[in-house]
Amino acid sequence: MTRMKVWLDADPGVDDAAAIILAARMPEIELVGVSACAGNVELSYTYENARNLVAYTGLNLPVHKGADRPLLAEPHFAREIHGKNGLGGQSLPASTAGHEKLPAWDAIYRAACEYAGELIVVMIGPLTNLALALLKYADLKEKIKRVVLMGGAVSYGNTTPAAEFNIYFDPEAADIVFSAGLDISMLGLDVTMQAYLDEPAIDRIHAVNEKGAFMAASMRQTLTWARKLYNLDFVAMHDPCTFLYLVYPELFRSELAGVRIETKGKLTRGKTVSDVHSDYKFEDRTVDVVLGIDHKRFLDCFMEILGRY
Ligand code: BDR
Ligand code: CA
C-alpha cells in the first residue's frame, strides 16, 4: 500500500487529541511531522500536548513549535471548551523526545521539499503556521499536493454568529492560505457538527481500551461545558473528520465552491464566505467544501480504528 505522506498542524485540543490518536492507527496515512500552534490554549500547552500525544500513540516523529499568536489579531483561547491545559483536565506522560529547533514554518517547507508534489498538509487549528510558511517560501504552494483543513462553515459560526473558531482566531492567516491557489478541502462546521458523540457514544469509547478511556475522560469535561454554554448534548469530533475524509471519502458529501475569508466585517470577521447556497457564484470554484457525513458509518469507523490499539 502506498501510504499518504501527511504533515499535521494542530492546537491540541480535546478533538485534536482524538484526531492524533486515530491517525496513528490508520495505515493509509504516514505522518511525517507535526507542528503546534496557539489556538485552543496557549502554545506552551498545545506544543507539550502535541509532543505527549505523539509519544503516547507510539509515533516516532518530530514535533515543531509554531506561532504563539495570530498574525495580527489578539489571541482569544477556548479554555472553556478544552480546559486550561487543552486536554479537558487530563494529563499524559511527558514525552522524553528531544526538542526540535526548527520552527513549524521551516519544518513544513523542508517536508514539502522532501516529499515534493506528494505532501498533504492537514490543518486542525488556526492557519497561522501554514500562512507563515507560504509568506516565507514563494515556491511552497507548488510543492504541496493538497491541504485538508478543519475550519470555517458555509452556514453559521461557533465563536461569533458568523465565524468558526480556527478561522476567527487568525482571519489574516486564513486569507493567505485560501488565496494561495492551493488544492483545499474545507471541513467546516457544516460537516463536523454532524460528526458528534453523545454520552452513550462516549461511554462506549471509554470501554474500548486505555486510549479510549483517555479520550472519553477528556471529552466528558467538554460535554459538561457544551451543555452549559451551548445547550448541546454532544461533543463534536471536528478535527478527526480531516483524517477520516482523507481515508474514507465515501463517508462524506462535498461540492466544489468558491470561498473567501472576511477579514474586515464588524459582525462577520473570520467568516468563510462561500457561494454554495448563493445564486451569485464566484469565478473560481475550486475549494472542495465538505458538507455531510454518514453518522452511523462515522461512529463505526471511529470505534473500529480505536480498537486497533
Ligand atoms: C475547532 O476549534 C477548536 O476548538 C477545535 O479543536 C476545532 O479544531 C472547531 O471549531
Ligand atoms: Ca483543533
Can you tell me whether residue 3 is helix, strand or coil? coil
- Region 65-82: what's the mean pLDDT? 95
C-alpha cell at 291: 458538507
Of all residues in the chain, the percent with pLDDT exceeding 90 is 98
Q: pTM of the full predicted structure?
A: 0.98
Whether the predicted pLDDT of 157 surpasses 90: yes
Confirm or reject: Cβ of 149 under 6 Å from ligand 1.
no
Per-residue pLDDT reduced to its tens digit, 108-119: 999 999 999 999
State the pairing for strand pair 287-293/184-187: parallel
Confirm or reject: Cβ of 225 under 6 Å from ligand 1.
no
* Cβ neighbour number for residue 183 with a 10 Å cutoff: 14
Instruction: Say whether domain 4-306 belongs to CATH 1.10.3720.10.
Output: no
In the prediction, which pLDDT does 1 show? Answer: 84
Whether the predicted pLDDT of 80 surpasses 90: no
The residue ranges of every structural domain in the chain are: 4-306
Out of 150, 164, 245, give the residue to mutate to test ligand 1, the one with the largest number of ligand atoms within 8 Å of its CB: 150
Per-residue pLDDT reduced to its tens digit, 11-29: 999 999 999 999 999 999 9
For the question of residue 238 being annotated catalytic, the response is yes
In 3D, which of 242, 236, 245, 239 has the Cα closest to residue 202?
Answer: 236
Whether the predicted pLDDT of 49 surpasses 90: yes
In the prediction, which pLDDT does 2 show? Answer: 92
- Region 40-51: what's the mean pLDDT? 98
- Region 82-87: what's the mean pLDDT? 94
Whether the predicted pLDDT of 156 surpasses 90: yes
- Region 210-229: what's the mean pLDDT? 95
Whether the predicted pLDDT of 131 surpasses 90: yes
In the prediction, which pLDDT does 231 show? Answer: 94
Task: Report the b/e string of 211-236 with b at 16+ CB within 10 A.
Answer: bbebbbbbbbbbbebbeeeeebebbb
